[in-house]
Amino acid sequence: MKNYIPTNPDLWNGRISEKELYLHEKVHHINITETGIPPFSEQAYAILGYACDEGVRRNQGRPGAVDGPDAIRQQLSKMPNHLSEDTTLLEAGTIQCLNSNMEEAQKSLASSVSRLLELNTFPILIGGGHDIAYGHFNGIKNYLTSTGKNKTIGIINFDAHFDLRSNTLGNNSGTPFYQIAQDQKLENQKFKYMCLGIREDANTKSLFNTSKNLNVTVIQNKRFNLHHLANLKIKLERFIKEVDYVYTTIDLDGFSSAYAPGTSAASPMGFSPEIVLECLEIIKDSEKMISLDIAELNPSYDRDHQTAKLAASLIHFVIHH
C-alpha cells in the first residue's frame, strides 16, 4: 500500500524505567504490509493511525485532524503500563490520505483492519476525520465474510452528530453511517446503529428523520449522563444482545469543549468523560467488542494537549479493563 507508513519509533517516548513501567517501553512496532507475521496467541492490542481530514474539509469543517494520530500517540506513550506480561501492545503504522483521495485511504484502512483481525489483535484506530468509520466498518465486515462468519455487526457511536448525511453529492466525514446503511441494504444485511450523545442543536430535522427511518437507537445528550445511567445500561445491553459483534467509535467532538477543545466541531454542550467510561465498561464486559476507533482530534485547536490526553486516556482505559 503506497499510502501506508510505519510509525517513527521516536514518537513513542517518555520516562525511562527499564522495567516497562510506561507504555512506550511496552509497545512493539510492526509493519502490516510484511508477510510472515504469525497470529498472536495471547491478548494483543494494535494501534493504527488514519491521517486524513479530507472528509472534514469536504464537510466544511476545520482541517487539522490529519495530525491527530501522532498527537494521540505522543500522549499515550507517556502513560503508565499496567498490562500483564502476556498482553501485547502493537504499533501498526498509519494510513495516509494522498492527493485528497479519501476513498482510496478508506480502502487501505479496511484492508489494514482485516489484516489486524487476521493477526488475532484488537484494532484501535486513531484519526483523523470520522470518515474513518466507513473504512473501519468495511474492514471488520470483510474479515468476518472471509472467515465464513455471517454475523451481525452493531455500531455504537459516541457522538454529537448522526453522521447520516446523504452522500448524493459525495462522501465526507458526515456521511459514513449513511454509506454503511446503504451498503447493508444492498446486501440484505442488518444495519444496527446506536448513537449516544446526539444533540438537537447539532443535527437538522431531516437527519433525525433519517435516523428514524433507519431504526437507529438514539440517546440524546440531555439523557446521556450519570443521572440516567441505570436506564442507559438497560438500553445498551438490549442493543448489544441483538448483535454478534460491537464496533465502537468515539467522536471527540461529542465531548464538551471543556474536556475536548481540540476537535473539528467543538461545543460546550457536549457530554463528559465519566459517562463514556461507564458505557465503555458495559460494552467491554459483553465480550462482543471487536474493535474501537477515536476520531476528530484536531491538534491545531487543542489546549495544553488536553484533547489528545483525553483520547489517550480512553485508549488506556479500554486496554486495561
Q: Any binding-site annotation on 159?
A: yes
CB-based contacts of 86: which residues, under 8 Å, 6+ apart?
42, 43
Percent of the chain with pLDDT over 70: 100
For residue 294, the cross-strand partners are 126, 250
DSSP 109-130: HHHHHHHHHHTT-EEEEEESST
Which cell numbers in the block locate residue 265?
466541531
Give the confidence band of 149 by pLDDT, cuts at 50, 70, 90: confident
The torsion angle over the Cα atoms of residues 174, 180, 182 and 184, rounded to 10 degrees, is -170
What is the average pLDDT score of the chain?
97
Beta bridge partners, 158, equal 196, 250
Question: What would the mean pLDDT of 276-280 be, rounded to a whole number?
Answer: 98
pLDDT digits (tens, 9 = 90+) for 242-266: 999 999 999 999 999 999 999 989 9
**Cα–Cα distance, 130 to 202 (Å, whole number):** 15
What pLDDT, on a 0 to 100 scale, did the predictor assign at position 1? Answer: 84
Q: Does the annotation list 24 as a binding residue?
A: no
Structural domains for the chain = 4-320 (3.40.800.10)
Residue 21 has pLDDT above 80, yes or no: yes
Task: Give the per-residue pLDDT at 18.
Answer: 84
**Would you state the pLDDT for residue 225?**
98
Q: How far is CA 86 from the centre of its chain?
A: 25
Q: Is 130 annotated as a binding residue?
A: yes
CA distance 250 to 271: 12
The answer to whether 216 and 208 have CB atoms below 8 angstroms apart is no
**163 marked as part of a ligand binding site:** yes
| pLDDT per residue as tens digits for the range 86-108 | 999 999 999 999 999 999 999 99
The fraction of the chain above a pLDDT of 90, given in percent, is 96
